[in-house]
Structure 1
Amino acid sequence: MNQNEFVQLTTAFKDKVFRLAKRLLVSTEEAEDVTQEILVKLWTKKESLASYKSVEAFAMTMTRNYCLDQLKAKRSTNIKIDASDFKDFSPALDKKLEDHDSLTWVEKSINQLPEQQRMIIQLRDVEQYEFEEIAKMLEISENTIRVALSRARKTVREKMTKINNYGIK
């Protein structure tokens, strides 16, 4: 595989790799570093990439594992993840502010979910992967994914209903 073929192949999914890394690590800078690291690792394996059914799924699995390793390393050194990277400071109209506020609450709700549910909701609802692809990436059954996704959505919906009906906690 030459450089042009590699670039064509990875261009299709590098933004998804970044978004998954950002969802897991929160920090834009760290997500950019992870994306670059994953692309370098793929480049070193470029000759064997043809043997994979889905290079994209392989890259997403690598990203997930790499990010989880990064988070474990942070936990062991007691570094807290800063969620301030999600704030949007650009000026906006009332509607945009309301939308942004709702999105922030949804993100907070998703980030409070258990790791598996958070990963599944990211892959299914944000990245638009099919259940079969998610099952391969996470190495769990499609039925387990459906149940976890249903529970995750229900939890987020309940939190959002509570916030909208009763105000901020």
Structure 2
Amino acid sequence: MKQTEFLHIVMPFKDKVFRLAKRLLVSKDEAEDATQEVILKLWQNKEAIKKYKNVEAFAMTMTKNFCFDKLKSKQAQNLKIVHSNYKDETISLQRKLEVNDALERVKKLIEALPEQQKLVIQLRDIEQYEFNEIEEMLEMKAGTIRVLLSRARKTIRQQLIQAHNYGIK
């Protein structure tokens, strides 16, 4: 069997082999490797291919067996650990709305603070500047900055607690 004849037989179902391997192995890279391995084994036994009535079914069986062997191997144990640690990082629409509402509420509370407290909380908590950098920017002592920051955080915390308790004490 020549290469062109082999490709004419194998290429129509190559994508099916890949999809089955991807379904079983999860990893795209592992599925690509499995597909290559199956096609290579078919090429090495190209003379025997003529004996099969349905080469596609034979290739799918080979793929299934190869993937199961791979999953049983020591290498696959590492794959399972990686995949079992995967967490779905998508956030539900409801949760996104809640987070956006909370952020808007905090922004409004910061805007309502006295000017110095607003400035200090912006520089420290939002912009993540260190205290010595804020001292230089605002030309204030570290103690003053800490007091302003503490008062601003306390005011915001109290107003958030009050809002979440619906004014009930």
Interval of TM-score (by shorter of Structure 1 and Structure 2)? 0.3 to 0.5
Rg (Cα) greater in structure: 2
| Structure 2 length-normalised TM | 0.47
Which structure has the higher relative contact order (CA within 8 Å, separation 6+)? 1
| Structure 1 length-normalised TM | 0.47
